[in-house]
Amino acid sequence: MTELHERTAVELRDLLRDGSLAPTDVVEHYLKRVAAGNAAVGALTLVTADAARERAAVLERERDAGALVDDCPDDDAVLWGLPSADKDLWDRAGVPTGFGSRAFAGRHAYVPEVSSDVVQVLDAAGTVSLGRTAAPELGFPAYTEMLAGPPARNPWDLGRGAGGSSGGAGAAVAAGLLPFAPGSDGGGSIRIPAAACGLVGLKPTRGLLPAGSGVDSLGGLVVAGPLARTTADAALLLEGMLPRRGDGTVDHPLTLRTAAGERGGYLAAAQRGEAPDGRRRFHLAVSTFSAWDGFYDVPAGPEARAALDAAVAGLGALGHGIDEPAWEPDAAYAPAFRTIWMAGASTVRVDDPERLALLEPLTRWLVDAGRRVSARQLAEALAALARFERTMVARVERFDAVVTPALAMTPRPLGWFDAEDPERNFEQQCQYTPYTSMINVCGLPAITVPVTWTEPTASAPAGLPMGVQLVGRPGGEHVLLALAAQLEERLRWSERRPPVW
């Protein structure tokens, strides 16, 4: 008999829908997985087992009372009964939010009374939260090695990190502790851990999701999105993060929004490998361009190049047209992005000296620098990034998608990032992941997928995953999902399992 964690989220959804499984069965299985495997990977910082069991039981009672129509694909609770977890930057009423920080622990603990919008949306879609996935301090680093708790370890090599800031989510899914997981992405925080852990990670277009839309964050950088083992599972979670009205339109409270596809359309694109208009062949660009070029030394390493070459070869064999445009960097990008990143840190809800002293060196540097940014500096930085956005969107719109490396290096060893020198630390993060933050600035959709694995070593007997990033036009999630599905069918990455599995 196939173990439940071996099944995809789509398979689990179908079994829950037809009554072959009950939410309590699935939740209990995954709670056992977490109990057995979480200590090794540090994926969840808090496990709310009792609340999860009660939630699963409530869902079953509601179904038995007729609140859910079985086998109805138009039912709003598209993720009914599926286990998930909340990133430790999001609020869940009555559950402590740690923000990955010692400044929010112990007597400084924060217990919210109201859940974050994204948590409410996932609850309405029918998920069962098993607890909190690890995040680095306040979500700023591209790695999850906080002083407030154990690091999120890479399931492919426990001596390496799972990436960040959705590192706990990536570790949990890759280790089979969750079928999928939601994350947030302000500079690559979904795509980085997905790439490091051999998963699919999707950053949606700015304004697509009502919750975690990006339009309410400084510079429009931060959006929510899915991490999953398969393209279809990522699409399924995306569907659940789009709350629908009875007529199928998205219940979106903001005036600035990206039009969503029809109900079920994202999952269909991922399952069929084609766009809604039936196209399976696309015009692609391949590039190693980074907006950090010229400011930091950010070359793609040999493993990153090998993954890119393998992806391009596979896409070419599938019949896609491929160009290699030459793009020049914008010298204003790097200082403007640094200003925005620091200004965002200035709003951290820590002001008294005692708690400020509890912040890690990188975070304290960002907070201090951000609080020195003048209104004029901030306005000029926003204007510079807006100009970069217009330029980059015009470049991307010539193609159906642009293929870049996902990461410039293999997943980094634990302790690799400088813990004492924040300036050096920031540079290292840009060197590790130079292809992601510029996509947040532009508000474009992007998906990372695994392509190759490095040669086995003693610490990584199955090798380390390396992948590519596919960047789409505004609202181009269907094409990205179709391309990812085609690559998945060809490369069969979802059949690989890390040693801790």
Residue with tokens 């400088």: 418
Query: Do 190 and 205 form a contact (C-beta atoms < 8 A)?
Result: no
Which one of the listed residues 87, 115, 116, 203 is annotated catalytic? 87
Report how far residue 210's alpha carbon sits from residue 254's, in angstroms, rounded to the nearest whole number.
7
Report how far residue 23's alpha carbon sits from residue 63's, in angstroms, rounded to the nearest whole number.
10
DSSP string, 335-376: HHHHHHHHHHHTT-S--SHHHHTTS-HHHHHHHHHHTT--HH
- 87 in active site: yes
Which one of the listed residues 84, 115, 116, 189 is annotated catalytic? 189
Report how far residue 267's alpha carbon sits from residue 483's, in angstroms, rounded to the nearest whole number.
13
Report how far residue 167's alpha carbon sits from residue 176's, in angstroms, rounded to the nearest whole number.
14
What three-state secondary structure class fits 491? helix
Within 10 angstroms of residue 259's Cβ, the number of other Cβ atoms is 12
Which one of the listed residues 101, 115, 129, 165 is annotated catalytic? 165
Report how far residue 422's alpha carbon sits from residue 31's, in angstroms, rounded to the nearest whole number.
38
Residue with tokens 């709310």: 48
- 20 in active site: no
Report how far residue 290's alpha carbon sits from residue 114's, in angstroms, rounded to the nearest whole number.
39
- 165 in active site: yes
Phi, psi of 281 (to 5 degrees): -120, 135
Residue with tokens 């766009």: 275
Query: Do 395 and 344 form a contact (C-beta atoms < 8 A)?
Result: no
Q: List the catalytic residues.
A: 87, 165, 189
